[in-house]
Structure 1
Amino acid sequence: MATDFWSSSHNKRWIVDRATLKQARIDDLHYVENAEQLDFLNIYFANVISKLGKRLQVRQRVIATATVFFRRFYTKNSYCETDPFIVISACCYVAAKAEESPVHIKNVVSESRLLFSREILTTPAEHAADFDTEEEYGIKHFPSDNSKLAEMEFYLVHDLECDLIVFHPYRTLMALCGKEAILNVAEAGELGIGVDGGPRYWGTGEGKLELEEGPLQMAWFIINDTYRSELCLLYPPHMIAIAAIYLTLVLNVTTRAAIQTQAQAQNQPAPPPTRRSSRTSSSGTHKKAPQDIVGFMAGLNVSMSLVATIAQEIIALYTLWDRYKEDATPESSRSTFGRPPSSASAGTKRSAASRDTSVFMGSEELSTAGTPRLADDVVTPAFLTHLLFRMREARLADVSHPATGRPVAVNKMLERTQAAG
């Protein structure tokens, strides 16, 4: 196990470039109308993992690790050639063991079946009662045999190259805010040092950013939201944490007001010095000087242009997420920016954990390929579930009747097992 991020397999093998991600999706691009639908699938799958993690009652860190495992697995595989739902179950199962919070395989299988399988409800009252708690993904034949999940675990670990240690931005966030004591000591390796024993990536390590509970929660929830994209594969975790802090400082009402107050104070002339009476006690109370937030961020030993780039990508994710609707109300919006800290925290928590209320579309139209679509460019889980089924069916048709006239193997994993003997 690596002592810190810099010498870990996460840093050396699992920070990839966009060309690698584009190559990984090259087969899937043949079966979607545009590349943007694959971006919506990133949100869709992350929400499914979060939903299953909540049913298994695991920590947020386990859910984040499972999401990273899922992203890594699909840098080597295609959605159209695999069953993403059993991969999700395997990722949650392996992540729970990797994070020392194991869940019995029977529980994973049973909860996955309840979550993914479309049960036939006899009465509208049963359907209404079940609608708020169960998510209907329509996987009618999710395997009930534990051995199927155990076999998928083997394939997953193989494609992950047994690299099961994942570093997350949460530790950096807490370290920068001076709250690392509340986290598990086992995560201390994420603090790390600079490359080749250089300075810490946040500077001297002496100064701490003092954030109130509301802004700190907002930064934490922004980090949660980044797992709805492929940022965890593109950038180191500490850069994502700093970008989340940057967005919080700019967009949170409390922190933005503090920065504006500091800027106004710096532009005003300094008051003349006053004589201090000898009778004044030296032990009297002194007003605490406000922290220099801008100076703290400027003192971090990172590229601020790269931080700004990551922040722009997070904002782009929120823009995309606004069009992803898991409820039937058109006015429902994902964005948490511009709200008071309490509302922003609650809104983001809802988006990161409990927005998983799948709905089948109300006003829909059929595309030429037979896929249901909502008007006004809105995307729903039902549309993406149907899209996944259509992608797999089209892929099966292509490999069964290729242009060469010679069928090819569909299950690459079975092919690997047979080749291994």
Structure 2
Amino acid sequence: MATNFWSSSHYKRWIVDRATLRQARSDDVLYLDDPDLLGFLNIFFANLISKLGKKLSLRQRVIATATVFFRRFYVKNSYCETDPFIVIAACCYVAAKAEESPVHIKNVVSEARMLFGEEYGIKSFPSDNSKLAEMEFYLVDELECDLTVFHPYRTLMTLCGKEGGGSLPEAEAGEADADDTDGPRYWGTGEGKLELQEGALQMAWFIINDTYRSELCLFYPPHLIAIAAIYLTLVFHAPTRAAIQHAQAQAQPHASTSASHSHSHGQSHSPTRRSSRSAKKPHPQAHAQPQDIVGFMAGLNVSMPLVATVAQEIIALYALWDRYSEDPGVESARAALLQRTRKGRAGRAEAQVQQEAEGATAAATGAVTPMFLVQVLLGMREQRMADMAHPASGRPVVVNKMLERTQAAG
């Protein structure tokens, strides 16, 4: 596996712009009443990959890699022209191989059929292993054999000086080790580590997990996503935010007192020379000061306005996610954030849960459900197939892209 992100295929070929994504979704939006449904589909597909990965006992890094493969595949393809469910199974299968955690193809087929069929009513998933093997071939071809993916987890662990442990998952290999000098050094001087509480570090980890519910992994390098996750953690993690505010409150009076003392001392006495030995002698009662977290973040060799932009996009993802009826068993930082902001609405939240338990429809609750999105996908595909069978030009459309390329090559 390559250790230099800046010379990898991930950086050179798979960081795309928004115009590319808009072009990729140009066919899909023709069959959608609301373009926001594309954002809900991003959440839905990522949740499906996560649930299938857990059934296959895959590590979080493998699940993240499978999600990136899925996003990359649909940079070149449309939802309405393909079967996203077999693509999801193929992404998990190929990602497990790429991350050296292979699973048997029979297990992938059986678990995918059970998950998609029992929970989402998808009865068309093939039971033949050869269909998934064929989809693996198409997937790797669309990925151009670029199977190396870098993730924000290593940046988080490098900046915080952690190697996993406690309630955190194991440390995962990421974009570039700290001794990589070929590319930009986003960690600034490299001196010191960010001191975060265990709960804050776990929240940052979960925020990174949540970003895979969007297309951020296609727009930004992994280290920017990790730093944006830390930035949001400093804002939303109550104990960490309180510690920062307390440290700043203590620093301001101390700075003003020192400045006034130096000013008065300079007026009454001429400056005296002190030996280097006396200057370096520590005070007997000196104690370690709390870390200047704000100064640490400012010292990183990144564009903080760009980090703030990524953070805003993550917040926008949470706002969209709030309108989505959450699949049970999906771990995310969103649940912790909503729990803090909804304490004053506990009664209404309980009423809403009860209403959903009684089978209220998505139209009644104002939420988008997974079953609703399944119906949207099936409708998109049916309309697309009808349009391809009876195009406006009257000429038949080649459905199989591999066959189309073969015919074009002669």
Counterpart AA for 2:208: I
Work out whether 1:175 is the aligned partner of 2:175.
Answer: no
Partner in structure 2 of residue 150 of structure 1: 133
Work out whether 1:240 is the aligned partner of 2:225.
Answer: yes
Between the aligned partners of 1:418 and 1:42, the Cα distance in structure 2 is 33
Q: Deviations over 1:292-338 (max 9, x none)?
A: 0010000000000000000000000000000100369xxxx955327
The answer on whether the counterparts of 1:396 and 1:410 sit within 8 Å (CA) in structure 2 is: no
Q: Deviations over 1:184-221 (max 9, x none)?
A: 68547354646xx4662110111210111100000000
3-state SS, counterpart of residue 379 of structure 1: coil
Give the counterpart of 1:411 among 373, 377, 400.
400
Between the aligned partners of 2:371 and 2:205, the Cα distance in structure 1 is 29
Task: Give me the TM-score of the superposition, normalised by structure 2.
Answer: 0.83
Q: Deviations over 1:17-70 (max 9, x none)?
A: 000000000000000012100110000000000000000001000000000000
The answer on whether the counterparts of 2:152 and 2:175 sit within 8 Å (CA) in structure 1 is: no
Work out whether 1:401 is the aligned partner of 2:390.
Answer: yes
Larger-Rg structure: 2
Counterpart AA for 1:222: I
Could you tell which deviates more after superposition, 173-182 or 410-419? 410-419
The answer on whether the counterparts of 1:70 and 1:91 sit within 8 Å (CA) in structure 2 is: yes
CA positional deviation for 1:238: 0.1
1:228–1:5 distance in 2 versus 1, CA, 3 Å: same
3-state SS, counterpart of residue 144 of structure 1: coil
Q: Deviations over 1:240-283 (max 9, x none)?
A: 0000000000111011011101211121136789xxxxxxxx89
Task: Give me the TM-score of the superposition, normalised by structure 1.
Answer: 0.81
Could you tell which deviates more after superposition, 254-263 or 177-186? 177-186
Between the aligned partners of 2:358 and 2:26, the Cα distance in structure 1 is 29
CA positional deviation for 1:362: 2.8
CA positional deviation for 1:145: 0.8
Q: Give the total of aligned pairs.
A: 367
More helix by share: 2
Between the aligned partners of 1:188 and 1:16, the Cα distance in structure 2 is 17
1:96–1:41 distance in 2 versus 1, CA, 3 Å: same
1:311–1:30 distance in 2 versus 1, CA, 3 Å: same
CA positional deviation for 1:339: 5.2
Partner in structure 2 of residue 367 of structure 1: none
Partner in structure 2 of residue 111 of structure 1: 111
- Which residues in structure 2 correspond to 1:300-339 (within 5 Å)? 300-326=300-326, 334-337=334-337
The answer on whether the counterparts of 1:171 and 1:191 sit within 8 Å (CA) in structure 2 is: no
Work out whether 1:189 is the aligned partner of 2:172.
Answer: no
Counterpart AA for 2:359: G
Give the counterpart of 1:260 among 245, 252, 260.
245
Partner in structure 2 of residue 57 of structure 1: 57
Q: What is the CA RMSD across the aligned residues, in angstroms?
A: 2.8
The answer on whether the counterparts of 1:361 and 1:382 sit within 8 Å (CA) in structure 2 is: no
1:168–1:190 distance in 2 versus 1, CA, 3 Å: farther
* Structure 2 unaligned residues grouped into runs of 5+: 262-281, 343-355
Between the aligned partners of 1:77 and 1:411, the Cα distance in structure 2 is 12
The answer on whether the counterparts of 1:55 and 1:111 sit within 8 Å (CA) in structure 2 is: yes
* Structure 1 unaligned residues grouped into runs of 5+: 119-135, 274-281, 344-358, 365-372
1:252–1:78 distance in 2 versus 1, CA, 3 Å: same
Give the counterpart of 1:159 among 130, 142, 148.
142
3-state SS, counterpart of residue 35 of structure 1: coil
Counterpart AA for 1:385: V
Between the aligned partners of 2:98 and 2:139, the Cα distance in structure 1 is 13
Partner in structure 1 of residue 122 of structure 2: 139
Between the aligned partners of 1:192 and 1:402, the Cα distance in structure 2 is 57
Work out whether 1:222 is the aligned partner of 2:207.
Answer: yes
- Which residues in structure 2 correspond to 1:16-31 (within 5 Å)? 16-31=16-31
